[in-house]
């Protein structure tokens, strides 16, 4: 029986060559692609600890992402406002429990990640 050795290696090489551009595209910030990936943003929110206080549709410790999007839906500075709240924290906007900062010295999130999260949250607004 004759063995074909070249085929499995060629298939692995092809898979590796195709995976690199796909991974780079998936990791590109929203500014480069013009959109954010909802699955990636949900994973980022989870890994950053955001989902300890927030949920998509219902209030937990903090407001739901849908409520945040609805409140800021018609504000021209919504993305910047949300990005700053994510990076620097805020107090008093949604009640007595303050939101901690996720940027600055803690550096849980980069500025680009905070922007992408804000863009994703605003995409949850009705009619977005």
Q: 68 in a domain, yes or no?
A: yes
Residue 112 sits in which domain range? 6-122
pLDDT in tens, 67-112: 999 999 999 999 999 999 999 999 999 999 999 999 877 789 999 9
Q: 1 in a domain, yes or no?
A: no
- 111: CB partners within 8 A, 6+ apart: 83, 87, 103
Residue 99: helix, strand or coil by DSSP? Answer: strand
* Average pLDDT over every residue of 59-67: 96
Which residue stretches of 1-128 are H helix?
6-27, 30-33, 38-47, 65-72, 78-88, 111-122
- The pair of structure tokens assigned to 123 is 């995409």
Taking the alpha carbons of 18, 19, 20, 24 in that order, is the dihedral positive or negative? positive
Q: 127 in a domain, yes or no?
A: no
Q: 128 in a domain, yes or no?
A: no
Please report, for the domain that includes residue 14, its CATH number. Answer: 1.10.760.10
**How many domains in the chain?**
1
């Amino acid at each position: 029986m004759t063995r074909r050795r070249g085929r499995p290696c060629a298939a692995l090489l092809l898979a590796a060559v195709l995976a690199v551009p796909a991974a780079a595209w998936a990791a590109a910030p929203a500014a480069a692609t013009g959109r954010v990936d909802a699955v990636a943003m949900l994973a980022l929110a989870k890994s950053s600890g955001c989902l300890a206080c927030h949920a998509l549709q219902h209030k937990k410790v903090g407001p739901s992402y849908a409520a945040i999007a609805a409140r800021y839906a018609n504000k021209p500075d919504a993305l910047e406002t949300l990005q700053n709240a994510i990076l620097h924290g805020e107090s008093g906007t949604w009640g007595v429990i303050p939101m901690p900062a996720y940027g600055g010295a803690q550096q849980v999130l980069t500025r680009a990640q905070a922007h992408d999260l804000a863009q994703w949250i605003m995409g949850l607004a009705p009619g977005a």
